[in-house]
Structure 1
Amino acid sequence: MKRWIVLLIILCGGLAGCQATTANPATSDSRGVMTKHQVLNLATVRPLTTLDADKMTTFGRLNNTIEGLYQTNRDGQAALALAKSVKVNAAKTTYTFTLWKDSYWSNGDLITAHDFVYSWRRALDPRTKAPQSDLFRGIQNARQIITGRLPAQRLGVQAVGNFKLVVRLDHPMAELPQKLAYPLFGPQNEAVAKKYGKKYATKPEYQVYAGPFMVSRHGNTRNCWHMVPNPHYWDRKHVYLQRINVKVYHNQRKAWADYLAGKLDEVRLLTKTNVQHYEHKDDYTARPYSRMVTISYQQYGPSATINRLLQQRGARLAISHAIDRKAFARETYGSTSIPAQGIVPAGLSRGMRGTADFANAQPEQQTLKYQPQTAKKEWLAALKTIHQKRVTLTLSYQDDANGHLMATQLRRQLTQQLPGLTIHLRRLPWVVNTRAQPLNGDLNLSTLRAQYADPLAVLSRFTSNSTANTSYWSNADYDRLIEQASTAPTFNAQRWRTMLRATGILMAEQGVTPLIQPASTYLVNPHLNGVQFNTVGTQSNFKGAYFVK
């Protein structure tokens, strides 16, 4: 049975106007709910740089062109997508996926198990240099491939015929389905990649797509690009938008003006002032998302004196205790952001009975409390250890809408509370689609995003062998606990407690200092319906989006 017939039965239970499933998406449905003009206009701050999923660190709107074995559903959980079924062996180290036989690339080619094998091996190939290759750790031999000890062909993934994919693991991984919903694990068309060689995925005409949309070959410039429905997508009848226009805005005021003039259907509110001005409007929305603003410490930089300072737990605790996170949130992102309770964002993962949020349960939360007197004592003790009364630190930040504001607020708080501290700001250019970069300041302000719905999406970044651990903080007990959680066969209470113990060590040591969890705030056309907003991984799924009259 074709999948769209199965899905039609499911959708009719909850989607208004489901009669539209048999109509041409370019016309209104039989109940007259949808408008005839189904064109979505979106804004972005960055031009289209690559269509190669292996080269991306943030997928943005392009996640709508990619589909994998799983996809994230409206509840934030991993649901089977291109895979029809999965069987797991008793040891939970082998997953055998059976693919649907009616899934096609945008050029009409059949999507097969070989496309997944090619894609995953390619991501780990040293010639590709996929910036997020660490996500493959746990799949058989991935660790050795990443470190160059084995070739990518030894990765534990195998195609058995066209529609059976076998994935072997080094150890059980309870979080594997959540990981596989991330677009990095989608398929790639080997024939197309080899046909175009170095040109592959550099322009829309050199790429094909497995998702509900594809990037149009026409009308794309550095300042705008377009997505249109994939004519061969297996669930094409449930894709209602005729076109998605994405325009690059270098001036936020211009984006607001275009939204107010009806030329945009969604605009991001990036600063506290924007939020305060629009938060009482009917088209205002604040969406939670699993990201955390943090301070990372350069403990092995060019200055031996500063290294000795920042290698002290007491100095890092002093910095954390000197920060009034509520005030920091209020003065930067505004009322929609919340102070950190730990390194794992709120809403990322819940307990076995669905009642406990991991973020709320994190231990050592007192290390994140605003305690100015304690901070002063800890700081003076740390300075005494290095025989200094004064010290100058650099604070690096990314050149984005909130970067400078957050850096200046942080400098103000720290220099007011910590005696003898001077901070120089260092602005860094915004970079995407690169591996984690070496730290450029003594203190480094950045935003951490979870790629999948599990605490390990965050916690695994701070192990000694993680390429994302650019501060080189290291703790043997922490590494051991993360290894235990990573090899757990199921989401059981023991795994939960193990991860809580690990985050307790990280926070007690302040190996990284979490500050706030910002929400994503937008103005959205109130006639736009059916968008799936995710709290983890990729933010917006427009597959089922449509406009109503």
Structure 2
Amino acid sequence: MKHWIIPFLIILVGGLAGCTQNTTVNSTSDSKGVMAQRQTLDLATGNPLTTLDTDKMDQFGRLNNTIEGLYQTNRDGQAQLALAQRVKVNAAKTTYTFTLWKDSYWSNGDLITAQNFVYAWRRALDPRTKAPDADLFRGIQNAKQILAGQLPADQLGVQAQGKFKLIVHLDHPMAELPQRLAYPLFGPQNQRIAKKFGKKYATKPEYQVYAGPFMVSSHGDTRQHWHMVPNPHYWDRKHVYLTRINVNVYRSQAKAWHDYRAGKLDEVRLLTKKSVKAYEYKNSYTARPYSRMILLNYRRNGPNVHHNQLLAQSQARLAISHAINRKTLGRNTYGSASLPAQGIVPAGLSRGLRGTADFAASQPHQKTLKYQPKVAQREWRAALKRAGLTHVTLTLSYLDATNSQSLAKQLIKQLTQTLPGLTIKPQARVWQLTTDRSAPLTSDLNLTTQRAQYADPLSMLSLYTSTSTANTGHWRNFTYDDLVAQASTAPAFNTHRWKTLLKADGILMQQQGVTPLFQPASTYLINPHLNGVQFNTVGTQSNFKEAYFVK
């Protein structure tokens, strides 16, 4: 097999205009000398398998191990070529020509071709599909017009030239394109299989095929269990060591704990502050940073005019931000591993050109997120007066789950104790597997979680432009829009682009268009014999391709 490649660092793309990259490295050690005889991984999930259609998932979870695209994320969080052997970028940096490997196959033995990518991408943008993450295609030629309903999906600027050449045309240069393409939504789909099964396609394991290292078994799929086995036709099959990954549905955290202690699970989530505190010094404990942020989102177009007038004021939103002790809030709800927000961009998402500066630490106007109760009270009184109010009762929406409920209670306590004349009524909302991110906000204040889908500050900042469907609070600032547009069309990663993104972040924080609270870490107890798992901080969390158990 010829798929041995060096990580394709995104920083280099800017200097490779018109050049072709095609380099090789030796494969890594498989550590077979210390492997256990049994290589079965047992995992837990809270939800049954409902779809295997990558276009209809807004969270890929364990299923990212069945998907592979032109790029994949390496252990350094960078994008490296995967199903693409090489890429050529034109001088204007608006056309990417990918040459695919000629010996990559679907799990049923079909050849993976360039047309599989064309079909998948156009299908994702088709209004009948309603892909939750379709906005990620913006910047690819005509995607914006297709999303607006002005053009059909077959006008997307992607084409197959023969079986193994994929040409992607852009509306403008996109320095972060390779990082975007590492996201599972940009993987291929087998058009022949989709046509064969029609409406049944991807509704059950037997109606889907897979390009990744694992495939979902067509046997034993129930509301309580599903499992993955190695893809026999995967290009790097010799470096897939697990023989089976069981995924069991647990409705009770107590049951999951019982099975972990009994050796029936290899991983269990620590969901409460109490459990984190009890196990954080154990060898099996791990806190995985992930590029997501817990946010407070504001409704400005609700049924109460006075509430709208209050929350439309940046001074009111700044008062709320200054009334929050983020360190205490995170520690008392998600545990000590959570990080107080420094801005909208999570820590560890993106570093400077020399790999030394973390964008999160460099974010300007961090004082807008500092706990300053006296400043908060002064700002709040002024905002109330401007809205013609002396007191107000607002609603706060939160997810009906352990951490979210605790977070809502703690947040209400902090805000109402600090801000005079404020009463808050909590409103629980039910979690849905396929959440519509463009759904209107249901309360005055809304606790939400936003994750970065690729390793660039733009993945968070672009969500709050005037035209973004993720901007459900409808905050608008035209200077901000212009700065994000400049960064979106930058031809390369450079100092100017970096400063542009920082300016945009500063505007968002100065006005508190959305209020970041903290960056939670996912905390687990893990079987200490499990090695080789790639835990990503962006995109999809766990890659089990080279995972194995030691004796």
2:446 alignment partner in structure 1: 444
The alignment status of 1:365 with 2:372, answered yes or no, reads: no
Counterparts of residues 65-76 of structure 1 (less than 5 Å): 65-76=66-77
CA positional deviation for 1:507: 0.2
Counterparts of residues 40-439 of structure 1 (less than 5 Å): 40-436=41-437, 437-439=439-441
What TM-score comes out, normalization by structure 2 length?
A: 0.95
Counterparts of 2:457 and 2:343 in 1: how far apart (Å)? 11
Does the CA-based 8 Å contact 2:30-2:239 persist in structure 1?
no
Q: Where does structure 1 lack aligned partners over 5 or more consecutive residues?
A: 18-28
1:24 alignment partner in structure 2: none
Counterparts of residues 2-21 of structure 1 (less than 5 Å): 2-3=2-3, 10=25, 12=27, 14-15=28-29, 17=31
CA positional deviation for 1:224: 1.1
2:474 alignment partner in structure 1: 472
> Which deviations, in whole Å up to 9, do the C-alpha atoms of 1:349-399 show, x marking residues without a partner?
000110000000000100000000110011111111111111011100112
Counterparts of 2:184 and 2:302 in 1: how far apart (Å)? 35
Does the CA-based 8 Å contact 2:398-2:446 persist in structure 1?
yes
Counterparts of 1:6 and 1:387 in 2: how far apart (Å)? 63
CA positional deviation for 1:5: 10
2:458 alignment partner in structure 1: 456
Given the superposition, is the C-alpha separation of residues 384 and 6 from structure 1 closer, same or farther in structure 2, using an over 3 Å criterion?
closer
> Which deviations, in whole Å up to 9, do the C-alpha atoms of 1:47-103 show, x marking residues without a partner?
111100000111000000000000000000000000000000000000000000010
2:529 alignment partner in structure 1: 527
The SS at the match of 1:143 is helix
Counterparts of 1:189 and 1:254 in 2: how far apart (Å)? 38
> Which deviations, in whole Å up to 9, do the C-alpha atoms of 1:444-497 show, x marking residues without a partner?
001110000000110000000011110100000000000000000000100000
Percent same amino acid among aligned pairs? 71
Given the superposition, is the C-alpha separation of residues 175 and 131 from structure 1 closer, same or farther in structure 2, using an over 3 Å criterion?
same
Letter in 1 for 2:486: Q
Counterparts of 2:151 and 2:134 in 1: how far apart (Å)? 14
Counterparts of 2:406 and 2:357 in 1: how far apart (Å)? 34
Counterparts of 1:15 and 1:301 in 2: how far apart (Å)? 58
Does the CA-based 8 Å contact 1:113-1:163 persist in structure 2?
yes
Does the CA-based 8 Å contact 1:399-1:430 persist in structure 2?
yes
Counterparts of 1:434 and 1:306 in 2: how far apart (Å)? 26
CA positional deviation for 1:330: 1.3
CA positional deviation for 1:16: 5.1
Does the CA-based 8 Å contact 1:95-1:166 persist in structure 2?
yes
2:19 alignment partner in structure 1: none
CA positional deviation for 1:3: 2.4
Does the CA-based 8 Å contact 2:228-2:245 persist in structure 1?
yes
2:540 alignment partner in structure 1: 538
The SS at the match of 1:403 is helix
Given the superposition, is the C-alpha separation of residues 133 and 75 from structure 1 closer, same or farther in structure 2, using an over 3 Å criterion?
same
> Which deviations, in whole Å up to 9, do the C-alpha atoms of 1:416-447 show, x marking residues without a partner?
00111110101001123233121111000011
Counterparts of 2:236 and 2:320 in 1: how far apart (Å)? 52
2:20 alignment partner in structure 1: none
Does the CA-based 8 Å contact 1:56-1:434 persist in structure 2?
no
> Which deviations, in whole Å up to 9, do the C-alpha atoms of 1:28-65 show, x marking residues without a partner?
x4x3x111111000011111111000001110000000
CA positional deviation for 1:6: 9.7
Given the superposition, is the C-alpha separation of residues 10 and 40 from structure 1 closer, same or farther in structure 2, using an over 3 Å criterion?
farther
CA positional deviation for 1:302: 1.1
Counterparts of 2:513 and 2:107 in 1: how far apart (Å)? 46
> Which deviations, in whole Å up to 9, do the C-alpha atoms of 1:270-328 show, x marking residues without a partner?
12111001111110011111011000000111111100000001100000000011110
What TM-score comes out, normalization by structure 1 length?
A: 0.96
Given the superposition, is the C-alpha separation of residues 5 and 231 from structure 1 closer, same or farther in structure 2, using an over 3 Å criterion?
farther
Counterparts of 2:302 and 2:411 in 1: how far apart (Å)? 21
CA positional deviation for 1:401: 2.7
Counterparts of 2:327 and 2:546 in 1: how far apart (Å)? 37
Counterparts of 2:5 and 2:272 in 1: how far apart (Å)? 45
Letter in 2 for 1:456: L
Residue-pair matches, total: 534
> Which deviations, in whole Å up to 9, do the C-alpha atoms of 1:140-168 show, x marking residues without a partner?
00000000000000000000000000000
Counterparts of 1:338 and 1:506 in 2: how far apart (Å)? 20
- After alignment, is 429-438 or 415-424 more displaced? 429-438
Does the CA-based 8 Å contact 1:534-1:540 persist in structure 2?
yes
The SS at the match of 1:352 is coil
Counterparts of 1:418 and 1:3 in 2: how far apart (Å)? 60
Does the CA-based 8 Å contact 1:132-1:435 persist in structure 2?
no
Counterparts of 1:414 and 1:197 in 2: how far apart (Å)? 52
Does the CA-based 8 Å contact 2:3-2:85 persist in structure 1?
no
Q: What RMSD over aligned residues (CA atoms) do the two structures have, in Å?
A: 1.3
Counterparts of 2:421 and 2:251 in 1: how far apart (Å)? 39
CA positional deviation for 1:116: 0.1
1:494 alignment partner in structure 2: 496
Counterparts of 2:5 and 2:354 in 1: how far apart (Å)? 33
Counterparts of 2:274 and 2:505 in 1: how far apart (Å)? 34
Letter in 1 for 2:443: G
Given the superposition, is the C-alpha separation of residues 527 and 137 from structure 1 closer, same or farther in structure 2, using an over 3 Å criterion?
same
Counterparts of 2:202 and 2:432 in 1: how far apart (Å)? 19
Q: Where does structure 2 lack aligned partners over 5 or more consecutive residues?
A: 8-23
Counterparts of 1:343 and 1:490 in 2: how far apart (Å)? 22
Which consecutive aligned stretches of 4+ in structure 1 deviate over 3 angstroms post-superposition? 4-7, 9-12
> Which deviations, in whole Å up to 9, do the C-alpha atoms of 1:223-255 show, x marking residues without a partner?
111000111111111111110000111111111
CA positional deviation for 1:406: 0.4
1:26 alignment partner in structure 2: none
The SS at the match of 2:394 is strand
Letter in 1 for 2:155: R
Does the CA-based 8 Å contact 1:269-1:522 persist in structure 2?
yes
Does the CA-based 8 Å contact 1:4-1:234 persist in structure 2?
no
Counterparts of 1:49 and 1:424 in 2: how far apart (Å)? 34
Letter in 2 for 1:513: T
